[in-house]
Amino acid sequence: MSHRTIFLLLICLTLAFILWVISGSSAVSNKYYIMVSDSDGHNTDVDDVPRQANFDFRKKRHRDDNSSVWYSQCRFPKCCRQEGCTDFPQCKDLLFQLLQDAVWIMRSLGIPYQIVYGTLLGAYRNYSILPWTADVDLIVHKKHWNDLIGTHPTEDPSRRLHVAVDKRECEDDKTCHCIRACHVIKNIDTPPESYPNVYNYNAYYMDIYTYFEAGDDSIGLCDRYYHKDWLFPPRNYTINGKSFLGPNKGNVSLQITYGLNFMHPIEGL
């Protein structure tokens, strides 16, 4: 085989590789989005969002009255809660990654946040994510709601956040909003799970609630009111060696939610 033939062959192989890369990347956007749905799973109109990228957005669920609604589906890898498990990644590690991704987006948008509930509890007890928890909990001010549920690329193109507004969480309180975010990892072959199933013990997800001023000295957060100085100014809490903002008086917030003995683990907490 002549040098000219070898040279032409190398050029052909190089061009073929470039075309393969281009064709593979054009099928699914490499951007990392927050994707928004309403409480019934209908997609909102956002630009440049792959509607069927790595998971099935729209599935039909039949109600008892024979009507049907659309709901969202999320895909995420299986995870283990038992220490030392090698078959799957640790659930708490995936939740920590979910927390970091969400906080990165909020910081990039200039949206103040705080960790609360079980996420704050894990930080307060042992500077980590609770090994048996199913979610990550954050709060933001209601005025940032529309900014938060927009479409925002993040720094890591290998993962996606699928977000749906959950009106059931604070159904009777029109001042409260909640969104549920599922981690969606690209190139995972496990079948998608229905969105309502993110509540089960094997799933992991994130709750983002909104708070509002309820007077000069009070903050409203879903079904409770807090003294403003319990939450503000926020202070830093450490989770897995990283710093996250949380309530000024975290111990008071945890006592309200989990009781005076919140530092002593019980089943599920």
4-8, 141-145, 174-178: which has the minimum mean pLDDT? Answer: 174-178
Residue 243 maps to a domain: yes
Q: Has residue 29 got a pLDDT over 50?
A: no
Taking the CB of residue 109, how many other CB atoms lie within 10 A of it? 13
Q: Which residue matches tokens 């530092």?
A: 263
Residue 154 maps to a domain: yes
Domain tally, the chain: 1
**Average pLDDT taken over every residue of the chain:** 67
Assign residue 197 the CATH number of its domain: 3.30.460
pLDDT-derived band of residue 164, with 50, 70 and 90 as boundaries? low
Taking the CB of residue 95, how many other CB atoms lie within 10 A of it? 26
Residue 219 maps to a domain: yes
Residue 146 maps to a domain: yes
Give per-residue pLDDT as tens, 216-266.
899 988 778 899 999 999 999 999 999 999 999 999 999 988 888 888 877
- At 239 the pLDDT is 98
Residue 125 maps to a domain: yes
Q: How far apart are CA 223 and CA 38, in angstroms?
A: 21
Residue 7 maps to a domain: no
Higher pLDDT, 86 or 156: 86
- At 240 the pLDDT is 97
Residue 127 maps to a domain: yes
pTM for this prediction: 0.66
Contact, 109 vs 117, CB < 8 A?
no
Give per-residue pLDDT as tens, 165-197.
655 544 455 445 555 555 544 433 333 434 444
Q: Has residue 199 got a pLDDT over 80?
A: no
Residue 10 maps to a domain: no
Contact, 246 vs 257, CB < 8 A?
no
Which range of residues forms the domain containing residue 166? Answer: 78-269
Higher pLDDT, 94 or 12: 94
What token pair was written down for 149?
A: 């549920």
pLDDT-derived band of residue 15, with 50, 70 and 90 as boundaries? low
